[in-house]
């Protein structure tokens, strides 16, 4: 209905549309994620989701518990506004509606990484990209952004330890993977405190799950642990991964066990290009008011918008979603049944994304 001719089936369920301006110029991309979550909406709203979907083989309730419907509505609004003035635009705008930001189904590719593989930043080549995320516990009208790392890289891993099973009363006749794992966990927790320059950026290593053993009097043959690494600096990430490998290898050898690490999910740092940030920050301040554009600390959560930023300069920022005049800290957090976004937040998003696109194209002719 807007007038654009979208391409569908990108990265399975994604949609991409290209608006060609009336004058030659660069190409800018605007991205919105579109996926929901397996959460039942509890909010007393006439538009509360009644949808269900398939997740891990089960039928589950589905809602937009992270605001991706807000992002989609904002980008559709931007597309409508820009289409109406397309003859005045010096360049092109690519609208990217991305699926699977919350993660692809197990064992499948998806999200921004798959979109990049399928060439979403090509034909024509995109010069810069902008994206946003609603934040339910910030007042509507507020914008939060920072240069360089704004969200962490993530490396989710699995450590498999193989010992020798034996009776619990004679541990010297076997190799105990549980004792080996406990030594690894303690040593892994020293990586951040002893090897990371924490005055430069944050880093986190967490072991969140251990699976092994069935009885109190059986030392099991094997176990596995699941963990996650979050970093905001690429050099620190390299050191952390190296130390993790060394600790796992050396402690396994010291206990006559065998161990291996498998990385299951890897996201880059969501990194706001410093030069692009300096260029576009005045645009955000002009359209929203300087008093409403705030600097922020980096977040140790992850975002697959980072796969776009690996290829081209980009800016990612947050906008508030709590109704003005209410206490935003009392708002329901993301990924919960009571998650809610005030409609006024969409105005901030629409103005910001439209202005960023137009100013970038005009200033980089």
Let me know if 343 is a catalytic residue: no
Question: What tokens were used for 318?
Answer: 């947050």
| CA pair distance 8, 120, nearest whole angstrom | 12
284: phi then psi, degrees, rounded to nearest 5: -65, -40
Kindly give the pairing relationship between strand 153-162 and strand 270-272.
Answer: unpaired
* 101 noted as active-site residue: yes
The active-site residue, picked from 33, 35, 69, 113, is: 35
The token pair at 86 is: 């397309």
Q: In this structure, what token pair is assigned to residue 205?
A: 């290593």
**Do 36 and 103 touch, CB atoms closer than 8 A?**
no
Q: Does an H or E element contain 322, and which?
A: strand 314-322
Paired strand residues for 28? 93, 128
Joined together, the tokens standing for residue 3 give 């007038």
Question: What pairing do the DSSP bridges indicate for beta strands 90-98 and 23-33?
Answer: parallel
CA–CA gap between residue 229 and residue 203 (Å, rounded): 7
The catalytic position among 33, 41, 69, 101 is 101
* DSSP H helical ranges for the chain: 68-84, 111-117, 177-195, 234-254, 274-288, 306-311, 345-363
Distance CA 90, CA 101 (A): 31
> What does 220-288 look like in DSSP terms, one character per residue?
-SEEEEEEEEEES-HHHHHHHHHHHHHHHHHHHHHTT-EEEEEEEEEE--EEE-HHHHHHHHHHHHHHH
Non-local (6+) Cβ contacts of 144 within 8 A are 135, 138, 294, 295, 296, 317, 318, 319, 320
**H/E run at residue 61:** strand 58-61
Kindly list the catalytic residues: 35, 101
């Amino acid at each position: 209905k807007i007038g654009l001719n979208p391409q569908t089936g990108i990265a399975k369920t994604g949609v991409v549309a290209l608006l060609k301006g009336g004058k030659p110029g660069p190409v800018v991309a605007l991205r919105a994620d579109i996926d929901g979550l397996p959460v039942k909406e509890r909010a007393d709203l006439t538009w509360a989701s009644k949808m269900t979907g398939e997740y891990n083989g089960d039928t589950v309730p589905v809602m937009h518990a992270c605001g991706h419907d807000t992002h989609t509505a904002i980008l559709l609004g931007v597309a409508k506004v820009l289409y109406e003035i397309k003859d005045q635009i010096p360049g092109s705008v690519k609208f990217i509606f991305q699926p699977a930001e919350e993660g692809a189904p197990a064992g499948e590719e998806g999200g921004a990484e798959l979109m990049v593989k399928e060439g979403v930043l090509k034909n024509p080549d995109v010069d810069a990209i902008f994206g946003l995320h609603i934040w339910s516990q910030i007042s509507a009208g507020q914008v939060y952004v920072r240069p360089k790392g704004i969200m962490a890289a993530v490396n989710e891993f699995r450590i498999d330890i193989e010992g020798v099973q034996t009776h619990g009363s004679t541990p010297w006749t076997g190799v105990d993977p549980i004792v080996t794992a406990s030594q690894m966990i303690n040593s892994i927790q020293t990586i951040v405190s002893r090897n990371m320059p924490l005055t430069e950026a944050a880093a986190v290593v967490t072991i969140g799950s251990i699976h092994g053993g069935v009885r109190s009097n059986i030392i099991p043959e094997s176990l596995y642990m699941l963990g996650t690494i979050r970093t905001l600096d690429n050099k620190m990430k390299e050191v952390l991964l190296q130390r993790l490998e060394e600790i796992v290898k050396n402690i396994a050898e010291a206990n006559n066990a065998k161990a291996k690490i498998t990385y299951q999910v890897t996201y880059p740092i969501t990194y706001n290009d410093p030069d692009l940030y300096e260029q576009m920050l005045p645009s955000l301040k002009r359209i929203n008011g300087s008093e409403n554009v705030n600097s922020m600390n980096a977040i140790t959560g992850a975002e697959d918008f980072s796969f776009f930023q690996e290829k081209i300069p980009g800016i990612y920022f947050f906008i508030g979603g709590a109704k003005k005049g209410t206490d935003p800290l009392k708002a329901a957090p993301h990924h919960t049944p009571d998650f809610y976004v005030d409609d006024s937040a969409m105005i901030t998003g629409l103005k910001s994304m439209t202005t960023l696109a137009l100013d970038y194209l005009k200033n980089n002719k």
